[in-house]
């Protein structure tokens, strides 16, 4: 049997999840303004290679999302953002996943603990 992780370890784990979540949200909400700026640049200059910026950002967002989905809760060890929905665990919030979720979907550990 293993000991439960100490508080410092839980704090470090939550800090890593928060940093990755901030990066994902930055990509998510920054995508459209960056796309508009690139389109304006392409229109002005006629150089289409600026289109690589939003395309790479999109791929980066998908990679970060995939990594976030695989993150495990530092307290219970289950997937942090993925809820196993059963008849007994279902709540009206079950349809939400991150970015709105701010707590472990298994044990309820808050991200801003």
Which residues lie near Zn ion (CB under 5 A)? 73, 75-76, 104, 106-107, 109
Closer residue to Zn ion in complex, CB, 62/107? 107
Whether 78 contacts 72, CB under 8 Å: yes
Q: Which is nearer to Zn ion, 11 or 40 (CB)?
A: 11
User: What is the radius of gyration, based on Cα positions, of the chain?
Assistant: 18
Q: How far is the CB of 7 from Zn ion (least distance, A)?
A: 14
| Helix-helix angle 52-69:7-45, to 10 degrees | 160
Between residues 17 and 73, which has the closer beta carbon with respect to Zn ion?
Answer: 73
């Amino acid at each position: 049997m293993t000991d439960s992780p100490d508080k410092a370890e839980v704090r470090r784990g939550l800090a890593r999840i928060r940093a990755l979540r901030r990066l994902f949200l930055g990509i998510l909400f920054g995508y459209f303004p960056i796309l508009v700026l690139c389109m304006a640049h392409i229109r002005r200059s006629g150089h289409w290679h600026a289109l690589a910026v939003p395309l790479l950002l999109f791929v980066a967002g998908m990679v970060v999302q995939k990594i976030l989905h695989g993150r495990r809760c530092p307290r219970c060890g289950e997937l942090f953002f993925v809820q196993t929905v059963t008849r007994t665990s279902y709540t009206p919030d079950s349809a939400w996943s991150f970015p709105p979720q701010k707590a472990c979907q298994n044990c309820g550990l808050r991200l801003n603990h």
